[in-house]
Amino acid sequence: MRVITGSARGRVLETLPGDDVRPTIDRVKEAVFSTIQFELEGRRVLDLFGGSGQMAIEALSRGAASATILDNSRKAIDVIRRNLQTTRLADRAVVLEADALAFVRNNRSTFDIAFLDPPYGKGLLQKVLPDLAKRMAPGGVILCESPVGEELPAEIGAYRLFRTYRYGKTQITAYRDAEI
């Protein structure tokens, strides 16, 4: 796993070992970033189920102003912090060990772009999306990674399902602010 482009291009990122971890493969990551490539500069990014932090790190490398990276695992948080040090992007990131649902319900910050790649089969996207939509800035984008066929809502607050992209067994669902 590596940073594809930008200031940290080519840097290898660490990930947690084991079968419970599913880092986004480079092909999917590259496709996701090609859909938002002109929307990253100066934006505030949220990586809600951080894992290795690779999505937020890629966004920072491509010019995002800041990133908040969240995970509920201490081991994942340690990996994220090491990856931020390796890429020299730690000064633009906040890393939090916290529950995603509690964070979006209680945090008052707003974000321009949100990446969500929760553990599969636990219904976490359906639980967190309604509250997350309230934390998004006008014109924001929410990008969800899930297994192909997982049913996601057509709308969440002011956000509407914009498009679903399929890559093998993975689907990326993009939501955009319908009021813009």
So what's the pLDDT on residue 10? 78
So what's the pLDDT on residue 29? 83
Q: What is the pTM of this model?
A: 0.91
Which structural domains are found in the chain, ordered by start? Answer: 26-177 (3.40.50.150)
So what's the pLDDT on residue 130? 95
Q: Are 75 and 69 in contact (CB under 8 A)?
A: no
Residues ≥6 apart with Cβ < 8 Å to 78: none
So what's the pLDDT on residue 16? 84
Q: Are strands 136-147 and 111-116 parallel, antiparallel or unpaired?
A: parallel
Q: Are strands 170-177 and 159-167 parallel, antiparallel or unpaired?
A: antiparallel
Sheet architecture: strand order including 93-97: 93-97, 66-71, 44-47, 111-116, 136-147, 170-177, 159-167, 155-156
Nearest in space to 165 (alpha carbons), one of 180, 178, 152, 179: 152
So what's the pLDDT on residue 34? 85
d(CA 87, CA 120): 28
Dihedral, CA of residue 136, residue 142, residue 145 and residue 149, to nearest 10? 110
d(CA 99, CA 71): 7
Digitized pLDDT (tens) for each residue of the chain, 180 residues in all: 888 888 888 788 888 876 556 667 677 888 888 889 889 999 999 999 999 999 999 999 999 999 999 999 999 999 999 999 999 999 999 999 999 999 999 999 999 999 999 988 888 999 999 999 999 999 999 999 999 988 899 999 899 999 998 988 889 999 998 776
So what's the pLDDT on residue 12? 85
